[in-house]
A = this chain, B = another copy of it.
Amino acid sequence: MPEFFNVLPPEEALALLLDRIPERPAAGVSVVETTGALGRVVAAEIRATESLPMFPRSTMDGYSVRAADTYGASDGLPAWFALVGEVPMGRGPDISLDVGETAVAYTGGMLAGNADAVVMMEHTQAVDAHTIEVMRPVAPGENVAQPGEDVRVEETVLPAGHVIRPQDIGGLLALGIEHIKVAERPRVGILSMGDEVVAPSITPGPGEVRDVNTYTVAGQVTAAGGTAAPLGLVGDDYERQLDAARRGLAESDMLVLSAGSSVSARDRTVDIVAELGEPGPLVHGLALRPGKPAIVGLCDGKPVIGLPGNPVSAMVVSSLLVRPTVYRLMGCADPPPLNERAALLAQDVPSAPGREDYVPVRLIESSNGTAIAHPVWGKSGFIFTLVRANGLVRVPADAGGIYAGEQVQVREL
């Protein structure tokens, strides 16, 4: 019954798909408040609307001076200055310095008129209320942030495709940019198939199980910035499956089909993907365990991913394929990397050369601070294998396994 799978490494399968998706927001663009844009993807390059700082700004608490007046000053031979006032925070200077004059300057504040440098408080000594000694010379510009030194007007501050972080929000607001264009969240339809699958609200009868994959995939879609759209459940009836997939794809930017992607009598997902649109299936089968019977397709410009029905297989495939595809649909070619951490493997992990293995592990900090990756063994139908794990160890395709004690990279899960 099993036919020959023409399997591809997951990375190549993903590239085949992504190369066919234009780098622009698939679901359109909307304008949002900058303050609420955390995690959204920039839809069009953002340039600085002005230069920052807007004025020469002291970077220290101290005294603004004409630098030339300090030349030659030292501990033994301090320069004397007449203290003529201060420039308060948040104000322009109403003082202008003559030779030998100085004014108090605050970190972040403006300098007195004619001043071109600031002497740090620590390099001065008060003689009386109107006179200070300066013990170190300063060069012009010393302890002063110049206009445009932080960012120059017209400079690109965020490129299209950038994922907004807290500091980006701060930078945009520093420029007074209160609204930005971001990619709309792509809508990802998720359809679970199989006669045995019932909704979580149902008490399963004999042979039935509650739907899991719709919700693990929905969580991954949400975490990637997409909108998960569960399309419900459909039994093992080809016409009903095709109809549900067709309607789901029409109202989505991407479709995920769970179950029915292995090569057995009842699994005709690949035929569904072929009927949904051109070119249809690009890849049927990944050089991957768990997750071999996955399907990668593109139907009339929309990505369609077929996941194995087993919860562990489904989640591994989804983390490799769905996440980057969701980002790409927002115009982001370079998603934030997943958390990875080096650890020592606690047990031998056997593998077959020619395919990548992903082994669920639980990372535990040993008493000396070393991270140890303990494999969590469990059949790929067992969702609690992944609940107990907090990482995945990748065994490369060219390795025949990894021995206990070897260092591995553990990807967060």
CB-based contact B266/A52 at 8 Å: no
- The proximity string for A residues 42-70 relative to B, scoring 1 for CB distances below 8 Å and 0 otherwise, is 00000000001111010101000000000
Contact residue among B106, B109, B337 (Cβ-Cβ distance under 8 Å from A339): B337
Chain B residue nearest to A219 (CB atoms) is B166
Contacts A87-B207, A167-B216; A178 near B150 (Cβ below 8 A): no
Residues on the B chain within 8 Å of A218, using CB: 35, 166, 169
In the bound complex, how far is the Cα of B173 from the Cα of A212, in angstroms?
Answer: 6
Q: How many residues of A contact B (CB 8 A)?
A: 99
Residues on the B chain within 8 Å of A38, using CB: 219, 222-223
CB-based contact A174/B212 at 8 Å: yes
Contact residue among B59, B202, B266 (Cβ-Cβ distance under 8 Å from A379): B59
In the bound complex, how far is the Cα of B165 from the Cα of A235, in angstroms?
Answer: 28
CB-based contact B213/A170 at 8 Å: yes
CB-based contact B166/A315 at 8 Å: yes
Residues on the B chain within 8 Å of A310, using CB: 107-108
CB-based contact B90/A197 at 8 Å: yes
Chain B residue nearest to A235 (CB atoms) is B90
Residues on the B chain within 8 Å of A210, using CB: 173-176
CB-based contact B55/A150 at 8 Å: no
How many copies of the polypeptide does the oligomer hold?
2
Residues on the B chain within 8 Å of A378, using CB: 150
A76 located at the interface, meaning its Cβ lies under 8 Å from any Cβ of chain B in the complex: no
> Which residues, 218 to 261 on A, are CB-close (under 8 Å) to B?
218-220, 222-223, 235-236
In the bound complex, how far is the Cα of B89 from the Cα of A194, in angstroms?
Answer: 8
Contacts A35-B218, A208-B90; A157 near B381 (Cβ below 8 A): no
CB-based contact A194/B264 at 8 Å: no
In the bound complex, how far is the Cα of B158 from the Cα of A152, in angstroms?
Answer: 50
A-B contact pairs, 20 of them (CB 8 A): A52-B383, A53-B381, A89-B194, A89-B195, A90-B196, A107-B381, A108-B209, A108-B381, A145-B381, A151-B384, A165-B219, A167-B315, A167-B413, A170-B212, A170-B219, A170-B383, A171-B387, A173-B200, A176-B210, A339-B339
- Which 3 A-B residue pairs are closest in the complex by CB-CB distance? A166-B219, A92-B206, A90-B196
Q: Which residues of A contact B (CB under 8 A)?
A: 1-2, 34-35, 38-39, 52-55, 57, 59, 61, 87-93, 106-110, 121-122, 145, 149-151, 157-158, 165-171, 173-176, 178, 194-197, 200-213, 215-220, 222-223, 235-236, 262, 264, 266, 309-311, 315, 336-342, 378-379, 381-387, 389, 412-413
